[in-house]
Amino acid sequence: MISSLAADETNFLRLEKLLRLRSYFGDIYGSTDLCVLLYVLAKRERPKCVVELGTGLGVCTAWLSLALLEVGEGHIWTFDDGSHLLKKEIVRNAATSVRKLFNLPPNPDENLKALFLDLIRELDLEGNVTFVDQHIDYDERLRIVIDRIDAKEINWLFSDISHGPKEISTIIGTFVPKMSEYGSIFIDSASNNIYSAPYLERVVPLLNAGLLPQSPDFKVWADGPQNMTSRVFELIHLREARDGPQNSTAWIRIHPK
Ligand SMILES: C[S@@+](CC[C@H](N)C(=O)[O-])C[C@H]1O[C@@H](n2cnc3c(N)ncnc32)[C@H](O)[C@@H]1O
């Protein structure tokens, strides 16, 4: 007799909806396969605190939420200011289609928060996720994110807003001190970016040497952990063998020496 949550009938129905979400809307942000990859990894690694910068249409958020629901613990804080939904026609049209596909009530004043909350309720995944309606300003060193999450440390950070060297520098400077002993930072679209990939190749060895890059963004290290030298930072470029935007993710794995 199979009794695991994954074999539960409700879960099959939810999974079917998530497959539809991924198949119909994943391509808009290149998340069609990434969401499944993150789901499988999350099931294996069981991150307790996941932070996602940039919810988009919630494709990865929903798959990650399912993983956490299935393992029985963990929470995702997902941040978005809703700007794409306001400004981009393709995202507005997709939002309307998401509502039609899942029979969500139409919303003439559509906004991302309302859409996300309706969707996540329909998928019955509310328990594991908090949507934070927040504009993120990299010049404020992302402190706002740390202040808004209710967790001592972050196990996974998935950054899917901006991926230039300057933003990556701010992301690393802000979040590495808050990462758990074993952790992962995913930076979408960075591994195929002609500026960001070489930047990461330079900066990760510096982290491994316990050195701080010479950048004002790293001032935040002053109040960071003293145990940096006891950690290993491993850079893995996840590159998709397909052309197109958002076809790579940089993965920095952190673990003790
Ligand atoms: C690439 S999409 C996220 C895709 C999503 N993570 C996925 O896997 O499907 C980027 C999102 O970031 C949001 N965004 C862009 N700039 C932002 C900012 N400065 N602060 C907060 N959200 C922002 C946009 O509204 C958009 O929904």
CA–centroid distance, residue 82 to ligand 1 (Å): 7
Tokens representing residue 91 in the block: 């995202």
Average pLDDT of the segment spanning 92-104? 96
CA–centroid distance, residue 5 to ligand 1 (Å): 31
113-129 pLDDT tens trace: 999 999 999 999 999 99
Torsion of CA 136, 82, 101, 249, to 10 degrees: -30
Domains of the chain: 5-256 (3.40.50.150)
Average pLDDT of the segment spanning 180-208? 94
Q: Which residue has the higher pLDDT, 201 or 245?
A: 201
pLDDT for 127: 94
Determine whether the shortest distance from the Cβ of 168 to ligand 1 is under 6 A.
no
Crossing angle for the helix pair 9-25 and 59-71, to the nearest 10 degrees: 160
Q: CA-to-CA distance for 223 and 210, rounded, in angstroms?
A: 15
Question: 7 falls in which pLDDT band (50, 70, 90)?
Answer: low
CA–centroid distance, residue 162 to ligand 1 (Å): 8
Determine whether the shortest distance from the Cβ of 160 to ligand 1 is under 6 A.
yes
Give, using CA atoms, the residue closest to atom 13 of ligand 1. Answer: 54
pLDDT for 214: 53
19-39 pLDDT tens trace: 999 999 999 999 999 999 999
Determine whether the shortest distance from the Cβ of 167 to ligand 1 is under 6 A.
no
Tokens representing residue 168 in the block: 């990556």
Q: Which residues contact 19 (CB under 8 A, 6 or more apart)?
A: none
DSSP state of 211: P
CA–centroid distance, residue 226 to ligand 1 (Å): 32
